[in-house]
């Protein structure tokens, strides 16, 4: 079948899907961390997901690398460093920060500076990989949204 006929007979709602399919075939996606191929079928499946930011992230990171990002799941509310595993789940501050007076209510750091996140941030910051800007913004925004934090006054990137 002639591709032009497909375009002419396609409904308006199917055109973006058709163009996306061609885009994936002409410009295959590869994970920026492990360089594995990200299939168009997987991207199409993820695009229909209900998550708000999943499409952009999964066009640049494979599912495996995304799952292995160093999420900062248990961190001190003031310094955002990971809390030791032996501390109770109800403790929100590390020993050092519990002794100090802080001028902030909370610091939120969604990822530890390790592994894949360390590579992404270092490549962006020192390697001038500006293409990682949107990916990092989406990753951080997704975690900020999922954390259900109260409205914030400032959002500042602070190096460790």
- The answer to whether position 41 is within a domain reads yes
Q: Is the pLDDT of residue 7 over 50?
A: no
Does residue 117 lie within any of the structural domains?
yes
Please report whether residue 105 resides in a domain. Answer: no
Note every long-range contact of 19-24, with CB atoms under 8 Å and residues 24 or more positions apart, other chains counting: 20/44, 20/47
The mean pLDDT of 54-81, rounded to a whole number, is 84
Residue from 13, 4, 83 nearest 48 by CA: 13
Which of 25-29, 34-38, 114-118, 135-139 comes out lowest in average pLDDT?
25-29
Q: Please check whether residue 160 lies inside any domain of the structure.
A: no
Range of the domain at 120: 16-71+110-146
Write the burial class of residue 70 (CB in 10 Å: 0-12 exposed, 13-18 middle, 19+ buried). middle
Q: Is residue 100 part of a domain?
A: no
Please give the pLDDT value at position 101.
Answer: 87
The answer to whether 107 and 136 are in contact (CB under 8 A) is: no
Please report whether residue 86 resides in a domain. Answer: no
Decide if 157 is inside a domain.
no
Return the number of other C-beta atoms located less than 10 Å from residue 117's C-beta: 21
Distance CA 101, CA 110 (A): 23
Tell me: the pLDDT tens digits for 108-138? Answer: 889 998 999 999 999 998 988 888 888 898 8
Query: Would 35 be classed as within a structural domain?
Result: yes
Q: CA 22 to CA 17: how far, in whole Å?
A: 9
> How many domains in the chain?
1
Adjacent-strand bridge partners of 38: 29
Burial 15-32 (b: 16+ CB within 10 A, else e): eeeeeeeeebeeeebebb
């Amino acid at each position: 079948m002639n591709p032009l006929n497909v375009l002419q007979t396609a409904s308006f709602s199917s055109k973006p899907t058709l163009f996306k399919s061609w885009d994936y075939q002409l410009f295959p996606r590869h994970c920026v961390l492990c360089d594995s191929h990200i299939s168009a079928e997987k991207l199409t499946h993820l695009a229909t997901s209900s998550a708000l930011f999943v499409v952009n992230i999964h066009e640049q990171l494979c599912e495996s690398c995304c799952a292995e990002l160093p999420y900062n799941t248990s961190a001190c509310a003031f310094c955002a460093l990971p809390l030791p595993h032996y501390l109770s789940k109800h403790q929100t501050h590390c020993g050092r920060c519990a002794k100090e007076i802080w001028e902030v209510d909370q610091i939120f750091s969604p990822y530890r500076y390790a592994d894949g996140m360390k590579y992404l941030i270092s490549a962006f910051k020192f390697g001038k990989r500006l293409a990682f800007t949107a990916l990092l913004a989406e990753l951080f925004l997704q975690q900020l949204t999922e954390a259900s934090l109260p409205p914030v006054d400032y959002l500042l990137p602070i190096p460790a």
